[in-house]
Structure 1
Amino acid sequence: MKGTGKFLAALREAGEGRGCIIQAMDASLVVGERHAAFAAEKAVRAFTERRNVAKDLGLEILRYASGQRQIERALSMGVSEATERVALIVMGTPPDISDILELDGEGPRWSEAAVREAFDIGDLEIEAAGEERIPDLVLERVALIDAYR
């Protein structure tokens, strides 16, 4: 994604100007709306209960969405120059971001290979659960983040 820095700066400015959180993620690693919503709920709960690892709610969302305990590792799920599609989580009053986004009208897509690598889902796990359960395996990893304390 060319202009990643400008894109992220525009999102930050749009969010700050309206008092909301906007977290961008590589859409090839987001297995659906349920994944994004669950990560956001877990992050908000962590902040509410003062168990958050990140000081920023957006980063805490990214940490949960990635299934990683460490922020540095969670950043691999964020937007980079290699990102082709972006998934956004917007919490609070949504800003008018139509001027900074180009929507292609397609539904969410995720890459099985990228998701399996990012969430360390091996062949044995796929054999046991089935490929159709990959989104559930990702949600399981999001849920287990708090167990690794």
Structure 2
Amino acid sequence: MELRQCRLEIDDLDAFVSDLGEIGDRHGVTIQAFDSRYVADRRHLERAVELADRAIDRGENVARDRAVEILLYAAGRRQIDRALEMGVGEGENRAVVLVDGESDGDETAALEAVETLDAFVGQEATLETRDTETLCAFFDITDAERGATDASLSALVRERVALLEVEK
């Protein structure tokens, strides 16, 4: 799995998603773009990919598309419309683009193709500063819960991702 932290300026979301799908098909990879405010860290997305693949292997996936299944796990939700809040939208986005395939070469080539899209403004460290308020609100992590544990916010988010498996 490769990640590209970046800034996107999306004029037409449907066209952008279609472009990502075409790049993914051309390179044999799965591509998903996230609004970085909803991503705790790299391990958050690694866990989502792992659990999505396990669900697909077991025939327990909700979505037909692997990229959407990864989004569902990353969001810790089974409802696609609620998980889409974690995706990018039209306008300016601080984003994280996830590319996952069988080979590093395919992932690298796909990322290079993503960088040629009109929507791609440039690389930017988007995960270095965490939007704690947004993460807590989106993943329903209360102040009381944070106060009752010494677990990091990232660990609590990954717990929500893992709980999706139990709640099915």
Q: Please state how far the C-alpha of 1:89 moved relative to its aligned partner.
A: 1.5
Q: Please state how far the C-alpha of 1:2 moved relative to its aligned partner.
A: 3.5
Q: Please state how far the C-alpha of 1:86 moved relative to its aligned partner.
A: 1.1
Is the 2:96–2:126 Cα contact (8 Å) retained in structure 1?
A: no
Q: Output the aligned Cα RMSD.
A: 1.8
Match of 1:3 in 2: 11
Deviation digits for residues 7-64 of structure 1, max 9, x if unmatched?
A: 3232122112222110111111111110011100110111011110111110100000
Q: TM-score when scaled to structure 2?
A: 0.80
Q: Please state how far the C-alpha of 1:70 moved relative to its aligned partner.
A: 1.8
Asked if 1:102 is matched to 2:125, the reply is no
Deviation digits for residues 76-121 of structure 1, max 9, x if unmatched?
A: 1111136621111111122122212333442524311111111011
Asked if 1:66 is matched to 2:86, the reply is no
**Secondary structure, counterpart of 2:64 in structure 1:** coil
Q: TM-score when scaled to structure 1?
A: 0.89
Give me the whole-angstrom Cα distance separating, in 2, the residues matched to 1:117 and 1:24.
Answer: 20
Query: Which consecutive segments of 4 or more residues in structure 1 shift more than 6 A?
Result: none
> Could you say which structure has the greater relative contact order, defined with CA pairs below 8 angstroms and 6 or more residues apart?
2
One-letter amino acid matched to 1:26: D
Unaligned runs of 5+ in 1: none
One-letter amino acid matched to 1:129: T
Is the 2:31–2:100 Cα contact (8 Å) retained in structure 1?
A: yes
Give me the whole-angstrom Cα distance separating, in 2, the residues matched to 1:60 and 1:21.
Answer: 11
Provide the aligned length of Structure 1 versus Structure 2. 148
**Secondary structure, counterpart of 2:60 in structure 1:** coil
Unaligned runs of 5+ in 2: 1-8
Give me the whole-angstrom Cα distance separating, in 2, the residues matched to 1:105 and 1:14.
Answer: 21
Correspondences of 1:1-149 after superposition (within 5 Å): 1-5=9-13, 6-81=15-90, 84-92=93-101, 93-94=106-107, 95=110, 96=112, 97-100=114-117, 101-106=120-125, 108=127, 109-129=129-149, 133-149=152-168
**Secondary structure, counterpart of 1:85 in structure 2:** strand
User: Quick one: structure 1 residues 136 and 52, their matched pair in 2 at CA, closer, same or farther if it must change by over 3 Å?
Assistant: same
Q: Percent identity?
A: 36
Give me the whole-angstrom Cα distance separating, in 2, the residues matched to 1:2 and 1:146.
Answer: 32
**Secondary structure, counterpart of 2:33 in structure 1:** strand
